[in-house]
Amino acid sequence: MKMNFNHQQQFHIVRGLFQSEPKTVNVVPTYLKAGVGTSVNHSTQQALKAAYGEHIERSTFLRDSSYIDKEKIPAFNLLTGEPSLISTEKILLYRGEKMKNRHTYADSCGAGFHYHSFNSIQNAFLEFFERQSLIFNWLTESGGTFVDVKKIDDLSVKEVIANVYQYVDEISCFNISLHKNVYVILTLGFGKYHFGIGSKASWNLFDAIKGSLDEMLHNFTPYYTKHHLEDYHPQKLNMDVNEGEIENDPLFYSLHFHLTQTSESLREHYQYLFLKSDRMHEDEFSRIEIVVDQQIFMEKLKEVAGDLKWELLCCFLKNTILDKAKVVKVFSNQGYPHMNTTLFNPLDYEISKLSRTGQFPNAYQLIPFP
């Protein structure tokens, strides 16, 4: 189903034949290719909200921010409130006519959107932490903690697992977090016709697992399940694009992943997780989930920042189309600047000192992640 939305965006909703199947929503702006927002959820309403939020978030960083012609953006320390000014090139993705002359690469890692400031900041921090954990894990080939999905008894998570198994034959989850306060679940899926990957950071284990599985479903839902393909439509499903066409594309990570990866190559790239990870203790599966309010959030933030020696900074960006939107970016000068690991030396960043070996076997190799 396709709906026009005030001539600025189009909503595309992909639904299966059965009510239990997840719904995919794409919000496609007519004026900005890379501002697309995508979400997969069993609830069409929730998928619509999440996809629209991602669209607002991306379009703000790409084009709609009121700082797009400024040299500096105001920022503040999340723990102390101390103000500072940050180079606009480190935050925004497009800068109008100046885009071709920019000297600093940036992506949308650590971004968050909500109508309430606290939720925006919390979402942005969790995404920032998730991506820092993923980048560090990839560069160092560190082990994690293997999460046996067969031990999960949460019904909402089991439902998503069942849906993912409609596309792949094997699901493997790992906690790759840099700190005990936050779960960062990286999920890998392998099958004959489909493969995928997803990640999610959360204060709670089951929420992190479910979020990583939901993200993985982005790889599958436009296509037939493995059962349909077995019976009717065996075919290659990766995107048909040329390497040269995607080098400067705003959707570079996703295009590169779908162009270069197969089920076999993805398993090979992340084989170190299978070889080096311990199994999660069964007590972890029965931990009581916590509700994180603003006070608890600040306490956890202070502990994470102190242990990892991070100065956590935050920028508020104004969306010039949607006045009430709270779009923020959380980052740290001690952390990695973006996910394009081909463009920086890990030794240049303080976070790399967390490595126990000081070795970075995947330095300058792009993370297999969309």
CA angle 102, 107, 113 (to 5 degrees): 125
10 Å CB burial of residue 267 (0-12, 13-18, 19+) is middle
List the chain domain ranges: 1-64, 65-354
**CA nearest neighbour of 368 among 216, 248, 261, 264:** 261
Distance CA 61, CA 58 (A): 5
Tokens of 155: 């019904």
Residue 97 confidence (pLDDT): 53
Which parts of the chain have pLDDT scores under 50?
A: 1-5, 7, 232-248
| DSSP per residue, 308-332 | HT--EEEEEE-BSS-TT-EEEEEEE
Residue 222 confidence (pLDDT): 59
This prediction has a pTM of: 0.88
The position carrying tokens 């790889």 is: 219
Domain 1-64: which CATH number of 3.30.160, 3.40.50, 1.10.1740, 3.90.550: 3.30.160
Tokens of 265: 């190559």
Strands (E), 8-153: 9-14, 23-29, 37-41, 72-77, 83-87, 111-114, 145-147
What is the tally of helices (H) and strands (E) in the chain? 10, 14
Tokens of 146: 């293997």
